[in-house]
């Protein structure tokens, strides 16, 4: 038997849960969590937590503590019959079409549109099934980057979650070397499983996906493979700001960085952190509330720089060396 714990919530609370489930993941009885909308007009949402055993007090108390609007309400606890509870948990997860990409769960495996690049990503404890605006925005941005003629040969997906964005990048640029990392070991196990399900080859050479458990870019494999033509980081605003110097250090001059996981009011602080590291904003997509940013790392020339410009002013020219 399996169990489901349900609690009403608002959209903001549902999105906050989707962005950071660390409090629930830290529990001994860690659940698979799905949020879905009940009534768009009245901002009525629901969070469902699925577990194998009868929910304990710690899980119930933690769940209530994460949903402020449900203060004083008792979670609904139900025992499920002998069914595939993972499939049940995905019934509220609609497929997502973002550019050429179609991301779906097993429930929609027979409804893939012709001509689309599809990925089957089932619900798990890792973030990034494609349903959240941040993930969908990144998929659309990758598609736009391909249409613009970009051809990265070395790609890093920092904070990969389910591996989806790394898979999408590999579908667009199949000869590129790609590495996906996450601070959570469970995410790397999920990514490995999803790679097998979607026919994504693992490996360290061109066309293969390398995996690493790492906080940010702090891993020998990530540093050894740098610099990257494309870095993807769909995480949260705080870690994005903290990681700005590290991401800049592994991004090649002229390379792209796709940043997401921030809300609109956090965009300027995030941009300021990356501008200070030599990036400029090239494009913005995603929803109004959840922007996705495309940055380009500027080339730096001059006698104190590692790069040199040719057929231009000499290093002694006092007007030279800006960027």
Strand 177-182 versus strand 209-213 pairing type: parallel
Q: Please count the helices (runs of H) and the strands (runs of E) in the chain.
A: 10, 14
Hey, what are 137's tokens? 């925005």
Binding residues for S-adenosyl-L-methionine: 135, 159, 182, 234
Q: Coil, helix or strand for 13?
A: helix
Short-list 5, 181, 177, CA closest to 78: 5
Which residue stretches of the chain are H helix?
Answer: 11-19, 22-25, 57-65, 85-89, 133-147, 164-172, 185-197, 220-225, 237-250, 267-275
Helix (H) or strand (E) holding 233: strand 228-234
Q: What angle is formed at CA 104 by the lines to CA 144 and CA 88, rounded to 5 degrees?
A: 150
Contact indicator for 152, 173 with CB cutoff of 8 Å: yes
Binding-site residues sit at: 135, 159, 182, 234
């Amino acid at each position: 038997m399996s169990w489901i714990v349900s609690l009403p919530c608002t959209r903001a609370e549902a999105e906050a849960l989707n962005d950071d489930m660390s409090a629930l993941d830290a529990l001994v009885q860690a659940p698979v969590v799905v949020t879905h909308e009940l009534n768009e007009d009245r901002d009525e949402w629901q969070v469902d937590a699925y577990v194998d055993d009868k929910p304990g007090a710690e899980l119930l108390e933690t769940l209530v503590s994460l949903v402020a609007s449900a203060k004083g309400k008792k979670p609904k606890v139900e025992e499920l019959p002998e069914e595939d509870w993972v499939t049940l948990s995905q019934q509220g997860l609609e497929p997502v079409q973002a550019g050429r990409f179609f991301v779906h769960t097993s429930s929609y495996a027979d409804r893939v549109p012709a001509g689309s690049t599809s990925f089957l990503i089932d619900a798990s404890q890792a973030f990034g099934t494609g349903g959240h605006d941040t993930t969908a925005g990144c998929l659309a941005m990758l598609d736009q980057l391909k249409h613009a003629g970009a051809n990265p040969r070395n790609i890093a997906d920092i904070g990969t979650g389910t591996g989806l964005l790394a898979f999408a990048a590999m579908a667009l640029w199949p000869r590129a070397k790609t590495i996906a990392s996450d601070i959570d070991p469970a995410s790397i196990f999920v990514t490995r499983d999803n790679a097998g399900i979607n026919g994504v080859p693992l490996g360290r050479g061109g066309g293969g996906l390398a995996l690493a458990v790492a906080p940010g870019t702090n891993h020998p494999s990530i540093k050894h493979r740098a610099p990257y033509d494309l870095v993807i980081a769909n995480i949260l605003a705080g870690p994005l700001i903290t990681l700005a110097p590290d991401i800049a250090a592994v991004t090649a001059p002229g390379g792209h960085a796709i940043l997401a996981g921030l809300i609109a009011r956090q965009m300027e602080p995030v941009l300021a952190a990356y501008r200070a590291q030599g990036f400029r904003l090239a494009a913005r997509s995603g929803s109004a509330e959840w922007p996705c940013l495309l940055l380009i790392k500027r080339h730096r020339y001059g006698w104190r720089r590692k790069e040199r410009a040719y057929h231009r002013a000499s290093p002694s020219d006092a007007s030279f060396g800006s960027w």
